[in-house]
Amino acid sequence: MSTENSPIPHESRPPLTLRDLAALDIETLKGVGPKRAASLRSAEVHSVLDLLRYYPRRYIDRTREAAIRDLREGEEGMVLGTVTRVEQRRIRGNRVMVNVTVADGTGTLAVTFFNQPWRAKQLYEGLSVVLFGKVDSFRGNLQMASPIVDLIGDQTGKIVPIYPQSEKAKIGSADVARWVAEALRRAEPRSLADPIPTDVRKAQGFIDRHTATFEIHQPESMASVARARRRLVFDELFAIQLELVMQQRLRQHTEVGVGHRATGDLTGQMLEHFGFPLTAAQKRVIGEITNDMHDPHPMHRLLQGDVGAGKTLVALHALLSGVEGGFQGALMAPTEVLAEQHALGIKSLLDGLQVEDTVSMFPTRPLRVELLTNGVPTADRKRILAQTISGEVDIVIGTHSLIQESVGFFNLGVVVIDEQHRFGVEQRAVLRAKAKGDKEPDVLVMTATPIPRTAAMTVYGDLDVSVLDELPPGRTPIETKWAAGPIEEASMWNSVRDEVAAGRQAYVVCPLIEASDKIEARSATETYEELTGGELFSLTVALLHGRMTSAEKEDVMSAFRAGDIDVLVATTVIEVGVDVPNATVMVILDAGRFGIAQLHQLRGRVGRGEHASTCWLAGEATTADGEARIEALIGSTDGFELAEIDLELRGEGTIMGERQKGQNDLRLASLRRDKEMVVLAREVAIDLLDRAEASAADSASVTDALSALVDDAKVMLGSTDTEYLRKN
Ligand code: ADP
Ligand code: MG
């Protein structure tokens, strides 16, 4: 394996690709035996490529930072020094205290560890360490208690990389640095291949991959870290974008869809019924969807819109456009309550509409919309199923039950999936496959959980995205208040009673309990009992939770809709889409435990009518993050703005997680910090694919260049992720 022993002069061998590096097992490195290899594997480092992508989490600039002299009491600090003394002793309760002294020529620092006896073995005189922690003083001397310790061994160089270390896997920063150095030394003679075309590199001011890989691990200066990072971040984001854009194009080239011939007849009548003019955003988005639907390629579009932006109308427009051309439409909602509500609203909007009848002797027949959930009685269900297959039903509204085996369509042409974050990708695919014949229906996915544009490019990058970024006029903004203590809570309940007295209605959302449906239901029941016996005594209060049967839930919801119930005490089952314009107060108990998106969704249940609405966030925030979330909600009602804040607070892992469970492809890149790079990566991916498509088949060099890039992307994303993207 050693390059030095190779009979072939190294210059003649091609540069190493990512695939080459991925094929080199970690154990082929000098200094990595079976035991170390096992540790590394447990940290998901299997190949030399994994190791080279095991990036430093920070750097220490020996020339500038990290002097003991510069530590400030009461602040966090980082120092690099040498251990000069280690002492271990027993203290009260038979616990062990390890005292260590570290010096660096500018001063000395006392370091203490409680109950970490192994530190006495880990640290010894003469060892170079980096310490990171809060600085106190003890009897006039600087001290750190239980700091983070990085062993940097005998690393030289002005900038010392600090690698993520794993106590459990027994991987220290110095070990990683040594193995990385070995890997780089071995790669040096052949150098690392760079498939990004030179003109792109030049235009973007990127350094080449070889240099970037060396500089991220063994930088000369912090400036060289920055340019290395810039290039490697691009590579990560580019791999994802290339995969997604290719996926999109592949579909465009291979899938055959329906070229809908909408007449505008039904949609026109529906809009007339509706009575309000469309918002500019609705017009724009309807235009985008109509274009997609006319096109014989199947639509794969995501509709992002804040709560209350009027997505339902857009969805209905799409469904009707399909029906106009003689096709069926399906609308899938995440819950029965929501499916039921959609059915009610849509049926009333479409009341009296006639469609062409090709079967009977009459030229037209009434448009048929049917609800198909598990709550529908069996006999009705059977009938609706049969009539869906025969084509007598035009629009079917349902939940997951729509994708059950038994549901077949006559000619499904449009599918709308509401609140997509609740649906798996597989479910989408199954529904799409319900279309008879070889034509794929158009698919519109709607989400009320806005995510920032650049994050959407990564998470939904294989879909076209439309954004409904405008609320219909005449909404009174919702006032959000924090009832952090008993006094504010008292005025909160007062305001609930006042609103009810004025003829309005209220929601009370119970504390979030993730343990189980059952426990959550029990706690909701307790809250309900407490409130009806106390704060909400004498009001008509009802309970809604996930353990109730569909029929029970429907009864409660329709009574609430009818105004027969003053206050609805509920779990998060009401989170999405519930639309009762007369409800003007939302109380969220123990609000600090909910996420931003969830709070925003819940708040969106009020402020839907002509009356001014209030949202109360109750309870102390038990964590700093909880407080930040509450503050964010008070400060903004804009879902996209809140999504940005959410991303800041939670990091990208969770957003990626919505689509890609498990491994996060981003080792170095951050959807938060590297927004411009996401956009750039997508532009470059599109540009390179355009070039490859434009070049004639005889231009082998373009195709070769592209396949090198594609191969890189596959290696970087790992086979499972590639498959995942494939499946969409
Ligand atoms: P979303 O699903 O995006 O949260 P909905 O589709 O439920 O929002 O619409 C919220 C409310 O706004 C509904 O009561 C709907 O009838 C109303 N609405 C939608 N579009 C308009 C419009 N252009 N003008 C006035 N009201 C509208
Ligand atoms: Mg909705």
What are the tens digits of pLDDT across the range 235-290?
999 998 998 888 888 877 888 888 888 889 999 999 999 999 999 999 999 999 99
DSSP 562-597: TT--SEEEE-GGGSS----TTEEEEEETTGGGS-HH
Residue that the structure tokens 């640095």 belong to: 177
Q: How many other C-beta atoms are found inside a 10 Å radius of the C-beta of residue 713?
A: 25
Enter the tokens of residue 375.
């709550």
Is the CB of residue 543 below 6 angstroms from any atom belonging to ligand 1?
no
104 shares its domain with 35? no
Q: What is the pLDDT of residues 21-59, one digit of tens each?
A: 999 999 999 989 999 999 999 888 999 999 999 999 888
Query: Residue 721 above 60 pLDDT?
Result: no
Q: What is the pLDDT averaged over residues 477-481? A: 93
CB contact at 8 A, 582 and 609? yes
**For the chain, give me the number of helices (H) and strands (E)?**
24, 23
Question: 405-428 burial, b for 16+ CB within 10 Å, e for fewer?
Answer: eebebbbbbbbbbbbbebbeeebb
Helix (H, G, I), strand (E, B) or coil at 325: coil
Spatial distance between the Cα atoms of 426 and 410, rounded to a whole number of angstroms: 22
Within 8 A by CB and 6+ apart from 226, the residues are: none
**Protein residue closest via CA to atom 20 of ligand 1:** 310
Q: Is 378 inside a domain boundary?
A: no
Instruction: Please indicate, yes or no, whether residues 499 and 572 belong to a single structural domain of this protein.
Output: yes
Does 519 share its domain with 606? yes
Residue 486 shares a structural domain with residue 587: yes
pLDDT above 80 for 521: no
Length of the chain: 728
Residues 493 and 601 in one domain: yes
- CA–centroid distance, residue 114 to ligand 1 (Å): 59
Rounded to the nearest whole angstrom, what is the distance from the C-alpha of residue 582 to the centroid of ligand 1? 14
Tell me the CATH number at 41.
1.10.150
Burial of 14 (0-12, 13-18, 19+ CB in 10 A): exposed
Residue 282 included in any domain: no
- The answer, yes or no, to whether any atom of ligand 1 lies below 6 A from the CB of 278, is yes
Give the residue among 411, 256, 261, 419 at the shortest CA–CA distance from 337. Answer: 419
Pair (76, 122) in one structural domain:
yes
312 lines ligand 1 (CB under 6 A): yes
In a domain, 46, yes or no: yes
Phi, psi of 588 (to 5 degrees): -115, 110
Summary mean pLDDT of the chain? 85
Is 153 inside a domain boundary?
yes
pLDDT given at position 55? 94
**Mean pLDDT (whole number) for 348-365:** 83
Are the CB atoms for 615 and 478 separated by under 8 Å? yes
Contacts of 367 (CB under 8 A, 6+ apart): 266, 323, 350, 353, 354, 355, 394, 395
Which ligand approaches the C-alpha of residue 349 most closely? 1
For ligand 1, atom 18, name the residue with the nearest CA.
310
Residues 152 and 27 in one domain: no
Nearest-angstrom CA–CA distance, 103 and 563: 74
Spell out the residues 6+ positions from residue 659 whose beta carbon is closer than 8 angstroms to its own: 425, 459, 460
pLDDT for 12 equals 74
**Same domain, yes or no: 22 and 147:** no
| Residues 631 and 543 occupy one common structural domain | yes
Q: What is the CATH number of the domain that holds 145?
A: 2.40.50.140
Q: What is the per-residue pLDDT across 115-164, written as a single tens digit (0 to 9) for each? A: 888 898 889 998 888 888 889 988 888 899 988 887 776 666 678 888 98
Chain segment 563-612, per-residue pLDDT in tens = 999 999 998 877 666 788 999 999 999 998 888 888 998 998 898 888 99
* Cα 653 to averaged position of ligand 2 atoms, centre (Å): 26
Are both 552 and 584 inside the same structural domain?
yes
Say how far apart CA 646 and CA 666 lie, in whole Å. Answer: 18
The torsion angles phi and psi of 26, rounded to 5 degrees, stand at -60, -30
Q: Is residue 494 part of a domain?
A: yes
Which element (helix H / strand E) includes 51? helix 48-52
Phi, psi of 254 (to 5 degrees): -105, -30
- pLDDT (mean) for 699-710: 77
| pLDDT of res. 658 | 44
233's tokens? 């971040």
End of a domain among 177, 193, 209? Answer: 193
- Separation of CA 580 and ligand 2 centre (Å): 12
419 lines ligand 1 (CB under 6 A): no
User: Which residue lies with its CA nearest to atom 15 of ligand 1?
Assistant: 310
The verdict on residue 596 lying in a domain is yes
Q: What atom of ligand 1 comes closest to residue 278's alpha carbon?
A: 23
Q: Does the pLDDT of residue 423 top 80, yes or no?
A: no
What CATH number is associated with residue 500? 3.40.50.300
Between 406 and 38, whose confidence is greater? Answer: 38
624 and 613 belong to one structural domain? yes
Question: Which of 312, 397, 470 has most ligand 1 atoms within 8 Å of its beta carbon, as the pocket-test mutant?
Answer: 312
Nearest CA to ligand 1 atom 17: 310
* Residue pair 395/408 in contact by the 8 Å Cβ criterion: no
480 Cα–ligand 1 center, Å:
21
Q: In this model, does residue 347 exceed pLDDT 80?
A: yes
Among 313, 421, 467, 469, name the best residue to mutate to test ligand 1's pocket (greatest count of ligand atoms within 8 A of Cβ): 313
Tell me which of 636, 660, 680 is where a domain ends.
Answer: 636
Convert the pLDDT of each residue in 649-670 to its tens digit. 876 555 554 444 334 567 888 8
Q: Taking residues 175-181, what's their average pLDDT?
A: 92
Ligand 2: distance of its center to the CA of 445 in Å? Answer: 12
Instruction: Flag whether 260 is in a domain.
Output: no
Q: Is 467 helix (H, G, I), strand (E, B) or coil?
A: strand
Residues 98 and 44 in one domain: no
- For position 639, what pLDDT does the model report? 87
Domain that holds residue 108: 60-162
**pLDDT value at position 576?**
63
State the Cα–Cα distance between residues 561 and 559, nearest whole angstrom: 5
In three-state secondary structure terms, 555 is: helix
Going by alpha carbons, the residue nearest to atom 16 of ligand 1 is 310
What angle (nearest 5°) sits at the alpha carbon of residue 55, between those of residues 53 and 56? Answer: 165
Is there an atom of ligand 1 within 6 Å of 345 CB?
no
Residue 133 lies in a domain: yes
pLDDT of residue 705: 78
For residues 153 and 176, the answer to whether their CB atoms sit within 8 Å is: no
User: Among residues 141, 162, 183, which one ends one of the domains?
Assistant: 162
Task: Return the structure tokens found at 185.
Answer: 């030394």
Distance from residue 215's CA to the centre of ligand 2 (Å): 49
Task: State which of 276, 342, 348 you would mutate to test the pocket of ligand 1, scoring each by most atoms of that ligand within 8 A of its C-beta.
Answer: 276
How remote is the CA of residue 338 from the centroid of ligand 2, in Å?
Answer: 8
Give the DSSP letter string of 628-656. HHHHHHHH---HHHHHHHHHHHH-HHHHH
State which ligand 1 atom lies nearest to the alpha carbon of 309: 3
Number of domains in the chain: 3
